[in-house]
């Protein structure tokens, strides 16, 4: 129980740091999304490389797994570009909740790419979550819908990245190496844009982007620690506290206030995530009880 509580605290701290990242990305203003991604990940490259040097065994990638690390990096980079575009062009709380569609996208991708079975409850949760997203997106045939669409695509990219991440780490790739390679890959992909289309920045904008990178690194470290303390199925739902943090930061720092439709969308998406979390815990408890009973009956008959 103590370890689980520590995991909950760590994942809430992670959500706070990622909320700070979203705030700083928004505060960077009109800097292009590709440039924001480069500076955000440049900090993570140095931090993750330092951690790798402390554990040199993490550099070893089991045979046949590198392609999953590469696919994770491609999906994660595309997802981050879309997410940063959304953050820069809509309320940060709206962008955050759309990005948190990623676990529901992961269910879909896991079914088709990893051949993992999804229960009827999982599919119903996916449908309800996307209904909630419609309240946030508020579909319309105008340019105003583009940031919201990019927010959804950001969640899709993150969901695909998490799917490949699980595939890689389950086959022995260390999480620290995945973070390092992803950060390095995204910097390499976005660097040509900086060379040919660099957008001059004020020192305040540069400071905001470096602060975004530092915040994201803190969030990554906390979430990694969280999942070493407790299984994801027990604590992952607390990651949705990022929506609360971004709403508070957006109101007090950026003077942003979500509209009524967005709030309804938040409640639907977070509500179905909480329901699915409780359902999975109850299901696991029943399975453990059934297994214990079967073992007890087997001992009595032997």
- Of 298 and 127, the one with more pLDDT: 127
For residue 236, pLDDT beyond 80: no
Give pTM, 2 decimals.
Answer: 0.88
Rounded distance between C-alpha atoms, residue 20 and residue 5, angstroms: 23
d(CA 246, CA 242): 6
> In whole angstroms, what is the distance from residue 224 CA to residue 77 CA?
19
What does the pLDDT look like over 27-51, one tens digit per residue?
999 999 999 999 999 999 999 899 8
Q: What pLDDT shows up at residue 3?
A: 77
DSSP labels, 212-234:
HHHHHHHHHHHHHHHHHHS-HHH
Q: What is the pLDDT of residues 212-226, one digit of tens each?
A: 999 998 888 888 778
Q: Are 275 and 132 in contact, with CB atoms under 8 Å apart?
A: no
CB of 191 within 8 A of CB of 38? yes
102-117: burial string, b at 16+ Cβ within 10 Å, e else: bbbbbbbbbbeeeeee
pLDDT above 90 covers a percentage of the chain that reads 57
State phi, psi for 129 to the nearest 5 degrees.
Answer: -60, -40
Closest CA to 232 of 223, 241, 240: 223
Alpha-carbon distance of 246 to 137, in angstroms, equals: 17
DSSP string across 166-202: HHHHTTT--HHHHHHHHHHHHHHHHHHHHHHH-----
Predicted confidence band at 231 (pLDDT cuts at 50, 70, 90)? Answer: low
Quickly state the pLDDT bin for 71 (edges 50, 70, 90). very high
Distance from chain centroid for Cα 288:
30
pLDDT digits (tens, 9 = 90+) for 90-104: 999 999 999 999 888
Contact call for residues 148 and 91 (beta carbons, < 8 A) = no
Cα distance between residue 178 and residue 163, in whole Å: 13
Given pLDDT bands bounded at 50, 70 and 90, which one contains residue 192?
very high
pLDDT, tens only, 164-173: 888 888 888 8
Comparing 145 with 154, the larger pLDDT belongs to 154
pLDDT score recorded for residue 59 = 86
Closest CA to 17 of 218, 243, 297, 234: 218
Would you kindly state where each structural domain of the chain is located, as residue ranges? Answer: 2-301
Local confidence band at 238 (pLDDT 50, 70, 90 cut-offs) = confident
State CA 39 to chain mean position distance. Answer: 19
Number of H helices, E strands in the chain: 12, 0
């Amino acid at each position: 129980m103590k370890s689980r509580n520590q995991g909950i605290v760590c994942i809430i701290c992670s959500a706070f740091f990622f909320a700070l990242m979203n705030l700083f990305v928004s505060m960077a203003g009109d800097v292009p999304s590709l440039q924001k991604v480069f500076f955000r990940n440049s900090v993570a490259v140095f931090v993750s490389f330092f951690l790798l040097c402390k554990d040199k065994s993490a550099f070893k990638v089991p045979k046949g797994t590198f392609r999953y690390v590469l696919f994770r990096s491609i999906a994660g980079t595309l997802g981050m570009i879309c997410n940063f575009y959304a953050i820069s062009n809509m309320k940060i709380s709206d962008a955050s909740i759309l990005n948190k569609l990623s676990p529901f996208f992961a269910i879909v991708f896991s079914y088709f790419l990893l051949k993992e079975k999804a229960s009827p409850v999982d599919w119903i949760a996916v449908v309800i979550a996307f209904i909630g997203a419609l309240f946030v997106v508020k579909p319309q045939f105008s340019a105003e819908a583009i940031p919201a669409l990019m927010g959804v695509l950001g969640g899709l990219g993150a969901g695909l990245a998490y799917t490949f991440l699980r595939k890689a780490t389950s086959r022995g790739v260390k999480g620290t190496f995945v973070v390092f390679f992803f950060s390095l890959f995204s910097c390499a992909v976005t660097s040509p844009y900086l060379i040919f289309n660099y957008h001059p920045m004020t020192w305040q904008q540069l400071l905001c982007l470096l602060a975004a990178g530092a915040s994201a690194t803190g969030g990554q470290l906390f979430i990694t620690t969280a999942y070493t303390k407790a299984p994801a199925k027990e604590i992952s739902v607390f990651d949705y506290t990022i929506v609360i943090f971004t709403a508070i930061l957006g109101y007090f720092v950026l003077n942003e206030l979500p509209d009524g439709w967005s709030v309804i969308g938040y409640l639907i998406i977070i509500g179905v995530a909480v329901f699915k979390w409780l359902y999975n815990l109850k299901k696991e408890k029943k399975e453990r009880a059934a297994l214990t009973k079967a073992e007890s009956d087997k001992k009595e008959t032997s």
